[in-house]
Each structure stands twice: as C-alpha cells, then as structure tokens.
Amino acid sequence: MDASFSITADPARDLIVMRLSGFFTPADLARLVAERQRVYATLHCGPNQHRTLSDTSRISIQSQDMVARFGAMLADPAYRSRRLALITASSLARMQLQRAVGKRDARVFTDEREAMTWLFADEASAAA
C-alpha cells in the first residue's frame, strides 16, 4: 500500500493532527517533513507548546531504516510537541512507535478519544 498522509492544524487549540497510512519510502517521508513545516507555521502558540495527535492505525509495518528515519523526524527539537499521542492498531506497530519515539512525553493508544483526553488532561486539571 502506497504511503499517504494528512497534517492539519487547529491553532485555537494548539493542536496538530497527523494521519499516516501505507508503507513509507524516504521520498514519502521527505514530503511529510515538508508538509509538517508548512502546517506548523500556521500555529499561534510558542515553540514546542502545541500538542500532537498522530494516527498511525492504518500505517504498514515499516522497514528498520524507516523506523530510524521517523525517529529522527520526531526528535527534531523545532517540532517537538508538549505532548504526543499516537494511535495504532497492532502490537508490532506499537513496538515500532515506541522505538521511534524514544524517551519523550508520549503515549500510544488504540482509541482516538482516549488519546485526545490524555493530550488535554494537563489543561483540564489546571482548570479544576
């Protein structure tokens, strides 16, 4: 399955939503990185103050090289989010995501509603 993706911003909520599917090549990832740069420029919050929801539930299992490249993309400090929630459907994909994410404040979910609740939990507890 060929790679496809969408990246949208919700500047009012300081939220980025990424949806990825298929099998990525280095060229696909380069297109994703370019689109990420364009979309992130529409945010109004300060650097690294946004939240990111990344839905990878339709992504194929990636090669080890691509897992490493995704890891490098996620490690870029210019785009590092305050919180990162990843959605996946399989346990193997979950393991690949955890390897790509490393030791940052991120969680892997199977349900988008739970992921969104976690993304904004710090805001909800501050309001209480």
Domain borders along the chain are: 4-127
Cβ density class 90-122: b for 16+ within 10 Å, e for less: eeebbebbeebbeeeebebbeeeeebbeebbee
In CATH, the architecture of 4-127 is 2-Layer Sandwich (3.30)
Amino acid 1: pLDDT: 78
Q: How would residue 30 be classed by pLDDT, with cut points 50, 70 and 90?
A: very high
Q: Name the burial class of residue 47, with classes exposed (0-12), middle (13-18) and buried (19+) by CB atoms within 10 angstroms of its CB.
A: exposed
- pLDDT, tens digit (0-9, with 9 covering 90-100), for 9-20: 999 999 999 999
- pLDDT, tens digit (0-9, with 9 covering 90-100), for 116-127: 999 999 876 666
61 or 33, higher pLDDT: 33
Mean pLDDT, residues 17-40 taken together: 96
- pLDDT, tens digit (0-9, with 9 covering 90-100), for 36-78: 999 999 999 999 999 999 999 998 888 989 988 988 888 899 9
